[in-house]
Structure formats: structure tokens, C-alpha cells
Amino acid sequence: MVVLSNVNKHFGALHVLQDIDLSIARGEVVVVIGPSGSGKSTLCRTINRLETIDSGTITVDGKELPSEGRELARLRADVGMVFQSFNLFAHKTVLQNVMLGQLKVRKTDQAAAHAKAQALLDRVGVGSQAEKYPAQLSGGQQQRVAIARALAMDPKVMLFDEPTSALDPEMINEVLEVMQQLAREGMTMVVVTHEMGFARSAANRVVFMADGKIVEEATPEQFFSNPRSDRAKDFLSKIL
């Protein structure tokens, strides 16, 4: 579903992604972990062209995303993205937030977009909040709205970049449960997270990044019980 081949990216002198090769199968859940600054967010952002790359190729469902133009918005919508900071539109209601992309990008009609938005909000457990504004919701509720908004585009893959890092502890599980459910339903997912419980229970594969490189790829069982690289051992000793 997602194939990165020999992807390189620099920020000035910083070689932030170095020869990245990564293939994610349909329905696979890949958890990306690694120290701060290792390039995890940049990796996510390149997959939907929020960042350009210097060399290599990235395809989603066999199609290479153009770097700009009209086609980009449509193809980018195939890649749902959920950020640490929710990024909901503050001056639109929860319902409008989930309708907007459907109307603008997918050209869905008003009634269908409304029905789908409400159904998705129900599914992530915030259906009763539809007429409120984002600031009137808790962080956990806002993040679930952000997930519903991404799902409204019928994405082929969902990227989650530390979706629970900005949440109070008691709200983390309500977001992880929605993500667990999506994983069980067969969504293709790339999840950057420090939630090792989620990685153990939901991931098919763990990708460990350090200094812009993929250092190690393993099943969660292998990775957590027997990491091969010193970098991974060192990282795990600090977070577990």
C-alpha cells in the first residue's frame, strides 16, 4: 500500500532521512519509534507530501504523489493524517470539521457528507458533540474528532504522529481504543508513538529509527524482548 524506495531528504546540512526503504502492506499496522529528532515526523510528512524529498520514490497504492498541482490534493486525501496537536478548525463545529474535506476535496453532496460525518462521530464516540466547537471538547474528544475527519476521506492509509502525546493520561486510552478498533478492521496504519502497550498489542511490525535511518525492523515480540542494535537497547532502557 505504501512503498518508500531509497528516500533521502535534507534540511540544509541535516540529512534527516537517509536511504529509507520501507514497504507497508495493505492492512498492516507499523509502529515507528525512536529518539526525538530521529526523523519520525518528517517520515510521516513525506508520505503525504507535506514535505518534499530530495531523491527516491514514494508510492501509495501504486501511485506516486505529484509534488504539486490539482491532483495532489485528491491523492493526498488518500493518506489520512492525525497529528499530536489535533489541528481542528477552531471556528467550525465538530460536524463541519468532519464535513469540510468531503465537500471540498471529494465533492460529496451536503446531505451525504452530513450523514457520513455524523456516523463517523458516532463511531469514535463523540456523536453527541457534533454541534460544539473544538475548544468546548476535551483533548481526547478533539483527537477522536480529528480521527473521524481523516476517516471521512476514505483514506487508504492512516498516519498517526504521536496522537496521544499532548493528552492528559486519563484520555490516552480512549484515543488508543479507537486506533485499536481501526487496526482490527484492517486499516493500513503508520503510527509514531511511545505507547509501548499499543505497539505490543496492535503492531504487526516495529520500525526503530535513529539519526534519520531505519536501524531495526522487527515484530513487537522480537523488538521488545530482544532488540538487536545498541541504539534500540539504549532507547528501550530509557523508556521502559
CB of 102 to ligand ADP, least distance (A): 29
Sign, CA dihedral 52-53-59-63, equals positive
Long-range contacts from 209-213, C-beta under 8 angstroms, 24+ separation: 209/32, 209/33, 209/34, 209/38, 209/39, 209/40, 209/43, 210/34, 210/35, 210/38, 210/235, 211/18, 211/38, 211/39, 212/15, 212/16, 212/17, 212/18, 212/38, 212/39, 213/18, 213/19, 213/20
Q: x/- site string to ligand ADP, residues 27 to 66, per CB under 6 A?
A: -------x-xxxxxxx------------------------
We find the least distance from the C-beta atom of residue 24 to ligand ADP, in angstroms, to be 18
In this complex, which beta carbon is closest to ligand ADP, that of residue 55 or of residue 136? Answer: 55
Q: Which is nearer to Mg ion, 4 or 33 (CB)?
A: 33
20, 34, 39, 41: residue in contact with Mg ion (rule CB under 5 A) = 41
Beta carbon of residue 165, minimum distance to Mg ion (angstroms, whole number): 9
Query: Angle between the 139-151 and 169-184 helix axes, to the nearest 10 degrees?
Result: 20
Q: Which is nearer to ligand ADP, 5 or 84 (CB)?
A: 84
Q: Residues 2, 16, 81, 113: which binds ligand ADP (CB under 6 A)? A: 16
Give the strands of the sheet with 55-60, arranged side by side: 14-24, 2-11, 55-60, 63-64
Which C-beta is closer to Mg ion: that of 161 or that of 216?
161
Q: Establish if 11 lies at the interface with ligand ADP (CB under 6 A).
A: yes
Shortest separation between residue 73's beta carbon and ligand ADP, angstroms: 21
How many angstroms from the chain centroid is the CA of residue 74?
Answer: 18
Q: Which residues are at the interface with ligand ADP (CB under 6 A)?
A: 11, 14, 16, 34, 36-42
Residues within the interface to Mg ion (CB under 5 A)? 40-41
